[in-house]
Amino acid sequence: MITGTLAGLGRATLALLAGLGAGAIFLARTLAAMLRPPFYAREFGHALLTIGYFSLPVVGLTAIFTGAALALQIYAGGSRFEAEAVVPSIVAIGMARELGPVLGGLMVAARVASSIAAEIGTMKVTEQIDALVTLSTDPMRYLTVPRVLAATLSVPVLVAVGDSIGIFGGYLVGTGRLGFNHAVYLQNTVDFLEFWDVASGLIKGAVFGFLIALTGCFYGMNSGRGAQGVGRATKSAVVAASVLILAANYLLTEAFFSA
Amino acid sequence: MIELDNVHKAFGPKKVLQGVTLHVPQGTSLVIIGGSGTGKSVTLKCVLGLITPDAGTIRVGGQPVGGTDRDAFLARFGMLFQGGALFDSMPVWQNVAFRLLRGALKRPRDEAREIAIEKLRRVGLKPDVADLFPAELSGGMQKRVGLARAIAAEPEIIFFDEPTTGLDPIMAGVINDLIREIVVEMGATAMTITHDMSSVRAIADDVAMLHDGVIKWAGPVAQMDASGDPYLDQFIHGRADGPIEAVR
Ligand SMILES: Nc1ncnc2c1ncn2[C@@H]1O[C@H](COP(=O)(O)OP(=O)(O)O)[C@@H](O)[C@H]1O
Ligand SMILES: [Mg+2]
């Protein structure tokens, strides 16, 4: 019984380590493929559109509700110290430094890591990846690099848009429900928000975007055979991307915090 | 031209190829026959370097597979995959002209499109198919688009994985003639996998039968009927009883 549990634990650990190793190799191959031509501009443009542009609605909706709820919570907390006036600045700081990138990143992970893994996984099981190779086209350069670059560049933009919309959500609640003066709310938002608050969030966004596309491609390229293999790859990609985002978020926050 | 020597390949515990030895001279057409799941597709993929054999050597034109210049190596090949393997994100003509739209063979788009339409015509498809997406085509049409893509860049070596499976007998005849024509006209070296004995007779110079991971019989197509080999005879005549078990 106990030995069975231990053996299971050992197997799981080995599988995790093997997965991490394969992931690291995939990362190295991706970076190597980025550095050498050809670069497929058409694929890159298409990836920008599907990963970046079409994620705007989901990121915007997430942000506006988050900013609105955040304003209420900070008001509730602040009133205990008679510090209700901090609502505008804490909403802005909280959105820019933490909630904008993290929630935006998680939403994009759900939307994009899954679709990349499903698309590439289907290509794998229907021999389209093999066909690419026989047509002298490197799947890493043709499929992975454009998606990873597009996500790395577009998620920070999505985060910036999300920050603004989230702050606007806080503003709507603050002025409409909590009785803040319009001008004072805006003034407080602008006065206390520092460059680094926004910049650190955008850097997080870039890292999250990179991780999202990389995991999507990794699980797609390593998809098992048949529809079941693609389903499993899709699920694993979303789970892995989400966990990686949260782990990277902690590490980055720690790094920015002590810097 | 293509030499496989004692090639082995296993997937986990499953031994698929267990010492395949084959020789395809330049400009000839070899047909590989054998039951489903015996490793015919795996054999072709080993030659292309898509699958790395566990043991044995494969040479193409004297050079070992997996050498340094992979692009130049692959540029000599055309391959029709068993399932077609068309890129479903792009229309038919861009599939056919894939090689002509990027890389070393890149040319203007309208020229590539014209070549694609010409290749489509050769496999019996009308020009209006060019702008459809693969998902809008029947299985047989997809197969023919795959065939057009395989021959688009006029390769010296062409692999056809079950080119006539899923086609009606008339279209199968058209494709058989086309494959024969490509080998004769372009002087290409061809390896074809098929279950269709009329295809074998139409296409093959030589025939090889794969069974139990090895080549059970190989020889000129003219000697196929008088081989006296029980495995080959059972396969040619499609008999349920014989040395090959029906349950595999
Ligand atoms: N990438 C792979 N991973 C695991 N098993 C495979 C793979 N490719 C082929 N096989 C197995 O190898 C055997 C031979 O496959 P294949 O060459 O496709 O057969 P066929 O002779 O019908 O073309 C099959 O049992 C198949 O399941
Ligand atoms: Mg096959």
Do residues B47 and B191 touch, judged by C-beta distance below 8 A?
yes
Per-residue pLDDT reduced to its tens digit, B15-25:
999 999 999 99
- Answer yes or no: are the C-beta atoms of B92 and B33 closer than 8 Å: no
Question: Measuring from each residue's beta carbon to the nearest atom of ligand 1, which residues come in under 6 Å?
Answer: B 11, 16, 34, 36-42
Instruction: Give the pLDDT mean for B210-228.
Output: 90
Q: CATH number of the domain that B194 lies in? A: 3.40.50.300
Q: How confident is the model at residue A54 (pLDDT cuts 50, 70, 90)?
A: very high
C-alpha distance from A226 to closest chain B C-alpha (Å): 13
Q: Which residue, among A129, A134, A230, would best test binding to B if mutated, counting the most B CBs under 10 Å from its CB?
A: A134
Q: What is the mean pLDDT of residues B220-241?
A: 87
Q: Which domain holds residue B143?
A: 27-38+70-204+215-237
**Per the domain annotation, does B55 fall within a domain?**
no
Model confidence over A131-176: pLDDT tens digits?
Answer: 999 999 999 999 999 999 999 999 999 999 999 999 999 999 999 9
The answer for B 159-218 residues in CB contact with A (under 8 A) is: none
Residue B89, in any domain of the structure: yes
Q: What letters, b where the CB count within 10 A reaches 16 and e where it falls short, cover B64-76? A: ebeeeeeeebbbb
Q: Could you tell me the distance, in angstroms and rounded to a whole number, from the CA of residue B35 to the centre of ligand 2?
A: 9
ipTM for the predicted complex comes to 0.90
Q: In this structure, is residue B11 part of a structural domain?
A: no
Q: In Å, how far are A93, A98, A207, B22, B163 from A258, measured between CA atoms?
A: 17, 16, 19, 66, 64
The structure tokens listed for A176 are 């409409």
A101 C-beta neighbours (distance < 10 Å), count: 32
Contact A99, B67 (CB under 8 A): no
Number of domains present in the structure of chain B: 1
Q: How far is CA B204 from the centre of its chain?
A: 12
- Tell me the average pLDDT across B212-229: 90
Whether B247 is covered by a domain: the verdict is no
- Report the amino acid identity of residue B101: L
Give dist(CA B107, CA B90) in Å, integer. 18
What pLDDT score was predicted for residue B248? 61
The residues spanned by each domain of chain A are: 1-36, 41-257
B200 near B221, Cβ under 8 Å? yes
Cross-strand partners of B63: B60
Burial of A112 (0-12, 13-18, 19+ CB in 10 A): buried
Tokens of A247: 């782990």
Percent of chain B residues topping a pLDDT of 70 = 99
Q: Which residues of chain A neighbour B102 with C-beta distances below 8 Å? A: 38, 40, 137
Residue B10 lies in a domain: no
Mean pLDDT of A77-103: 92
One-letter amino acid identity for B227? S
pLDDT of A129 over the 90 cut: yes
> H-helix or E-strand containing B189?
strand B189-193
| Distance of alpha carbon A153 from alpha carbon A207, whole angstroms | 10
How far does residue B99's CA lie from ligand 2's centre (Å)?
Answer: 24
Amino acid found at A200: S
Asked whether residue B4 carries a pLDDT value surpassing 90, the answer given is: yes
Q: Assess if residue B59 is contained within a domain.
A: no
CA distance A137 to A140: 9
Q: Using a CB-CB distance cutoff of 8 angstroms, which residues of chain B are in contact with residue A40?
A: 102
In a domain, B3, yes or no: no
Is there a contact between B48 and A134 if contact means CB atoms under 8 Å apart? yes
DSSP-based three-state secondary structure for B194: coil
State the Rg of chain A over Cα: 21
Q: What is the pTM of this model?
A: 0.90
Taking only the tens place, the pLDDT of each residue in B29-87 is 999 999 888 999 999 999 999 999 999 999 998 888 877 778 888 888 999 999 889 99
Q: Give the per-residue pLDDT at B44.
A: 95
Give the pairing type, strands B206-211 and B29-33.
parallel
